[in-house]
Amino acid sequence: MASVPEGLRYTREHEWAKAEGDRVRVGITAYAQDQLGDVVFVELPAVGAAVRQMQGFGVVESVKAVSDLFAPIDGTVAEVNAALGSTPELVNQDPYGKGWIIVITPSDPAQLESLMTAGDYEAFIASGGH
Amino acid sequence: MYHGVVVSEPLKRTPLHAAHVKAGARLVPFAGWEMPVQYAGILEEHRTVRRAVGLFDVSHMGEFEVAGPGALAALQHLTTNDVTALEVGQVQYSLLCTPNGGIVDDLTIYRLATDRFMLTVNASNIDTDWAWVTRHSAGGAEWTNISADTALLAVQGPHAEALMARLTDTPVAGIRYYSFGLGQVAGARALISRTGYTGEDGFELYAAARDAEGLWSALLEGGASLGIAPIGLGARDTLRLEMRYLLYGNDIDETTNPLEAGLGWVVKPSKGEFLGRDAIETVRAEGLSRRLVGFEMVARAVPRHGYRIQVDGRPVGVVTSGSYGPSVNRCIGLGYVKSAHAAVGSPIQIEVRGTPWAARVVKTPFHTSSVKRG
């Protein structure tokens, strides 16, 4: 499997978080999409919804599994990836790019520092990812 | 997290376990067996079967033989369909029912000779079916459980016949749908059946367990230029769902009767007495309070077994099977609904994680069949 992108932060539930100016883009990792299998549906929150760190904000469904999505940081939903409505497979094909899921306006940008670095996350999945 | 669950027996493995590992399969427990749920991915495997040809290991299924002067009578008593209409060399889809009309299993019956038959049963029901048939069988019928010694491979897709022609001298073009022949495939003796669970043209090959690995390899090699790939249980489920083929344990069980499940076409009360006949005829006379229908979601939410079905907030039924259907590009499902909401076009809502999602009852099958009839 390709190595985990540097410059992103990671959660223990296999979400990635990318600082983009004053916003944070969120998706799931290549490891997560591989574990899930073919994604067929993503249940997205409403724009403007509040999210809290490690609370569920949506659901990603594969053919065989339903998996909660957990917010990496506190904030409000600024954008959701509407393309996932017709092409949920973007999550499998391009999990760090076109398969992004939401963008958050963080209430405390410093919270990103509490997340795993790429190196931490690689070690995490190497030891089982739990 | 494990909560003190004790696994009393290790999972069973088919003769092809090593082949699955080598092919990169993701293995999961199914009915007490360790089976491949996917290799390359469920959606890709589904499309391979519809467009090219796929190879399935379904050796976990059960096979029984019954022979003797009382074999026909035993099967007539045990099953709902009319076994006298089954000729040597033909296959029949049928049901085992309880005296109150519930379904013990769905199965196929092969007539090997005038007084010799093979039954193919679901992996999850091998032991219960064996106890059932032997208990309800009268004299003159000798039963043998050949499940452990029998491997079963399915070759399904538009290129299935071309692949088979490369590996056998048996003229497979002449084996009609729901018929079978006996021959050699890649040097192994096999019963070659033109049946399947996908809605595509194809064959199911019954062979000795010891020949399974060689046969599997020969099919993958012989089919390479035809685009063959191994197919797991995940795609097996999406393929059958698109055709409204039922899955025991999901869509039918001992609490469902054949008429409400839409299986009246394999129930032949005119053949005479059989287990469940009176109960089924009572249901027929009284009318159905619920029916198994096919439905499609308006949005892409995925319906799953056990999800409640409602109409305007009132409960009207339950989902028995559901998934995204790659060939129809919609989320589809089967479920029992009260008869008043069973007509094609009826609007229903599927409760997904507490929220009702719009759906409608549709005609089935969801995808057009390509089996070689006629």
pLDDT value at residue B128: 98
CB-based contact, B41 to chain A, within 8 Å: yes
Read off the pLDDT of residues B30-58 as tens digits, 9 standing for 90 and up: 999 999 999 999 999 999 999 999 999 99
C-alpha B278/C-alpha A38 separation (Å) is 46
In this prediction, residue B7 carries a pLDDT of: 62
> Cβ of B43 and A64 within 8 Å?
no
What pLDDT was estimated at residue B138? 84
**Helical (H) or strand (E) element with B297:** strand B290-297
* Residues of A within an 8 Å Cβ radius of B: 37-38, 40-41, 43, 59, 61-64, 66, 85, 88-89, 92
Query: B54 CA to chain A: closest CA distance, Å?
Result: 18
Tell me the Ramachandran region of residue B217: left when phi exceeds 0, alpha when psi lies from -120 to 50, beta otherwise.
Answer: alpha
Q: Smallest Cβ distance to A63: which of B238, B301, B353?
A: B238
Min Cα separation A76/chain B (Å): 22
Q: Which one of A37, A61, A85 has the shortest CB-CB distance to B302?
A: A61
**Residues of chain B contacting A61 with CB distance shorter than 8 Å:** 302
pTM of the predicted structure, to 2 decimals: 0.95
Average pLDDT of the residues in B135-163: 97
- Select the residue of B42, B300, B301 nearest A63 (Cβ to Cβ): B42
Give the residue among B311, B356, B318 at the shortest CA–CA distance from B337.
B318
- B273-320 pLDDT, tens digit per residue, is 999 999 999 999 999 999 999 999 998 899 999 999 999 999 999 999
**Residue B130 in this model has a pLDDT that exceeds 60:** yes
For the domain spanning B9-287, the CATH number is 3.30.1360.120
Flag if B323 and A63 touch (Cβ within 8 Å). yes
Which positions in chain A touch B304 (Cβ < 8 Å)?
A: 66
Task: Name the pLDDT band for B4 (thresholds 50, 70, 90).
Answer: low
pLDDT value of position A2: 61
- Decide: B319 and B335 in contact? Cβ < 8 Å: yes
Contact predicate B117/B142, CB 8 Å: no
8 Å CB contact of B41 and A40: no
At residue B5, does pLDDT exceed 80? no
Residue ranges per domain, chain B? Answer: 9-287, 289-362
- Chain A residues whose CB is inside 8 A of the B234 CB are 37, 63-64
Closest Cβ opposite residue B234 in set A64, A88, A92:
A64
Domains and CATH numbers, chain A: 9-112 (2.40.50.100)
What is the rounded average pLDDT for all residues in chain B?
96
Q: Please check whether residue B137 is in contact with residue B143, taking contact to mean a CB–CB distance below 8 angstroms.
A: yes
**pLDDT means per 10 residues in chain A (130 residues)?**
86 97 97 96 98 97 96 98 96 98 96 96 94
* Secondary-structure class of domain B289-362 per CATH: mainly beta
Does the beta-carbon distance from B41 to A37 stay under 8 Å? yes
Q: How confident is the model at residue B372 (pLDDT cuts 50, 70, 90)?
A: confident
pLDDT of amino acid B2: 47
A contacts of B44 (beta carbons < 8 Å): 38
- What are the structure tokens assigned to B2, written together? 């494990």
Q: Are B63 and B146 a contacting pair, CB within 8 Å?
A: yes
